[in-house]
Structure formats: C-alpha cells, structure tokens
Amino acid sequence: MLSLMYNCDNNSVPSAEDIATFNKNVESWKDVVSGFGSEDPEKVMSIFADSLKWNNPEALMNVNKSKEDLTAAVNFYISTFDNIKFTEDVYYGGSLYSTEETSASPNGLRIYGNWVFNDPETGVEVSYKWMGVAQFNKDGKVHNFADWFDVSSIPSQIAGTYQR
C-alpha cells in the first residue's frame, strides 16, 4: 500500500535543462515548418543528421529510408505545391508510458498538427492530419524520424472526390 501511495504522489518535475532541450527541439522543428513555407529545402533538412533513419508514411514499421530519400520527398512537396503551412501544432516530449523502452528524455519529440497547402494547377486547398516522431541526438540533430498521414488523400482531395 505504501508503494501505491508513493507512486500516486510521485509528481516529478522536469529539470530546467530538460525543459530547455525540449523547447530547443520544438524550435528546431519549427525551422522545418518555416523552410516549407519559404520553399527552402536546405532549411527543412538542416535539422536532420546525415545518418537519418526515416520511416515514411507509406512504409511498414520495419522499413527505414535515408536522409537522401527524405530530401527527395521534401523537394517533391516544395516543387509541387504552394503555400505549405503546418497548423494547430502540438508537441510532447519523452515516453514514460510505452510498450517499448520508457524515457523521460526531451530528445524524443512527438509532433501533431495539420499540413495545409494548395495545388497550383487547380487552386484546391489540400489538408490532412499528421503525426511525427523525431528522436534528436546529442548534437541536436534528428537521427530517427517517422511520420504518419493518409498519403492517398492528396490526389482525391485535388480531384474533389475525398470525403472526411
């Protein structure tokens, strides 16, 4: 019973250093968003380590791609669509409750929001809910990144056949 009471009352507070690291990682991600908005792929890619393992939305969980693959995807979006924005964004650090290894580290960043952009040929606004998980290394670069969204909704939104 004492153990249960201790666990219920254990309200640990993140250290000032962890809070600063978390905030720095969030700002790094916002540089990615800014890079999309200014159509600057180098700015987008500046937070990713050369050794990046990227689990893209179409891939199964055990399939990783490289920084070069992510660079190609970023270049595709920037060259294909206009007015790229990331809205209603929310950020969480650490993973204290997990089926895998738990961690209170602020270097594991979960990112949620909506990507919104326009198809330049039709003017149609495309939007979708998105989630990403970025793991930062000691140098402040993302070395492991996964993101999830309904890739197939993009062409159907442009065609006007997509229903939410």
In this structure, are residues 7 and 118 in contact, taking their beta carbons and an 8 Å threshold? no
Tell me if 120 is assigned to some domain: yes
Strand partners, 53: 144
Output the pTM of the full model.
0.87
Full DSSP string of 113-150: EEEEEE-TTT--EEEEEEEEEEEE-TTS-EEEEEEE--
Model confidence over 91-132: pLDDT tens digits? 999 876 667 777 778 899 999 999 999 999 999 999 999 999
- Residues of the chain with confidence (pLDDT) below 70: 1-11, 96-98
- Which of 129, 152, 36, 31 is CA-nearest to residue 83? 36
154, containing H or E segment:
helix 153-159
Tell me if 148 is assigned to some domain: yes
Please report the pLDDT score of residue 94 as a whole number.
80
The DSSP code for 108 is E
- Residue 71, domain CATH: 3.10.450.50
- Which of 80, 89, 74, 91 is CA-nearest to residue 25? 91
Please report the pLDDT score of residue 6 as a whole number.
45
Q: Give the total number of structural domains in the chain.
A: 1
Please report the pLDDT score of residue 4 as a whole number.
47
Please report the pLDDT score of residue 11 as a whole number.
58
Which tokens in the block code for residue 91?
């950020």
The residue range of the domain holding 92 is 15-157
Tell me if 116 is assigned to some domain: yes
